Amino acid sequence: MERRLKLSASGNYSEGGAGRYVVRPHDLLWCAEQSVGADAPAWANPLIARGGPFVVRRAPRASDCLPVGVRGLARHQRFAMTIAADQVMKTVTPEQCAARIERPTAKRRQAIPALDALPALAATLDSRRLCWGVTGAVGYELATDEASCHAASDIDVLIRLPQRLTRRDAAGVVASLAMLPVRCDIQMETPLGGVALADWAAGNDNVLVKSDQGPFLCADPWVRSVAHERASRSAAG
Amino acid sequence: MQRLSLDYPAGAPAAARALAGVVGSGDLEVLLEPAENGRSTVAITTSVDGVNDIWTAVIDRIFADADQPAVALEINDFGATPAVVRLRIAQAMEQAASGAGRT
């Protein structure tokens, strides 16, 4: 039980160590047994009833509730719900998943290229001194030891970037990860929200930012802008 | 993998081609090309099954104005939400209109 668990009102999840007790998007949560709502699909019922794992979603947060999702094995099996923050008993962050890359068995690594490529991914990102974690199916499998990946799974990676990553450096990371035998889907966690590394590296005028208030386009996700304020306001109104 | 094709009445051909979006979970790629006068087409390939009705509703709304430039959109979807779909298509339309689209 993490005593200092708290909800962030700011929506800035880009900090590494300092924000450790803030529940952030992509964190995995385990809770007390939950009652299953009437709208939950059949495949999600056992997961909800046993209390998780739930994946924290980007969505507006009430003072005492967290937006979460339940993941099924199939790609379309995703169910959105909320849970009371005081029900959370355990959290596993993407960074903690990344610390478990030795968990999969040799047999599992042989069957799943994404699991086999994790040490090479870690070497690449660590050499650039990035604060990173694993999300998606791979992160889920690392955290739960349950077979969640399949042979064609890519690796979803999150990099926390409270400070700007230059477009040139972003392109460098993209290029070095392109050498891996498995496709990596990299999201930068910036002060304004999640941005695809490829979007920023491509040098477009605007990048798409995924925030708790919804997605918006902006020129620079490290600078608060009119677009961001507008997105926040329209979500609040 | 599912494919969906839609078409709509439109105005004059768009000024330029454009490309918006990225390959990645929760996002999509939009390739926009000028289409023949008076008709816009939208071809969607999506990794998510069972969402044709949502797609049709979102795209119908974007193309509700028949005076918009005629475009041929090729969309590769990786599970984008309707809000992301709208932003990425708007981004491509804007690039095409300004003639500054990536090629």
pLDDT per residue over A44-72, tens digit each?
999 999 998 999 999 998 878 899 999 98
Whether B72 is in a domain gets the answer: yes
Whether B103 is in a domain gets the answer: no
Q: Which of A154, A185, A199, A220 is catalytic?
A: A154
What does the alpha-carbon distance between residue B59 and residue B85 come to, in Å, rounded to a whole number?
Answer: 9
Assign B52 a pLDDT band (cuts: 50, 70, 90). confident
What residues form DSSP beta bridges with B44?
B4, B75
Mutate to test the interface with B, among A208, A209, A217 (most CBs of B within 10 A): A208
ipTM: 0.89
Residues 80-109 of A with CB under 8 A from B: none
**Domain limits at B89?**
2-98
Q: Report the sign of the C-alpha dihedral through residues A159, A165, A166, A169, in that order.
A: negative
Assign A3 a pLDDT band (cuts: 50, 70, 90). very low
Q: Is B79 on the interface with A (CB under 8 A)?
A: yes
Whether B34 is in a domain gets the answer: yes
For residue A186, what is the nearest residue in chain B, using CA coordinates? Answer: B24
Tell me the nearest-neighbour CA distance from B60 into chain A, angstroms.
20
- Side chain identity at A96, as an amino acid letter? Q
How crowded is the C-beta side of A221, counted as CA atoms within 13 Å? Answer: 36
Instruction: Let me know if A126 is a catalytic residue.
Output: no
Q: Where are the alpha helices (DSSP H) in A41-161?
A: 45-50, 94-98, 106-111, 113-116, 118-127, 136-144
Nearest by CB to residue A156, choosing from B21, B23, B25, is: B25
Assign A232 a pLDDT band (cuts: 50, 70, 90). low
Domain total in chain B: 1
Decide which of A20 and A10 is more confident.
Answer: A10
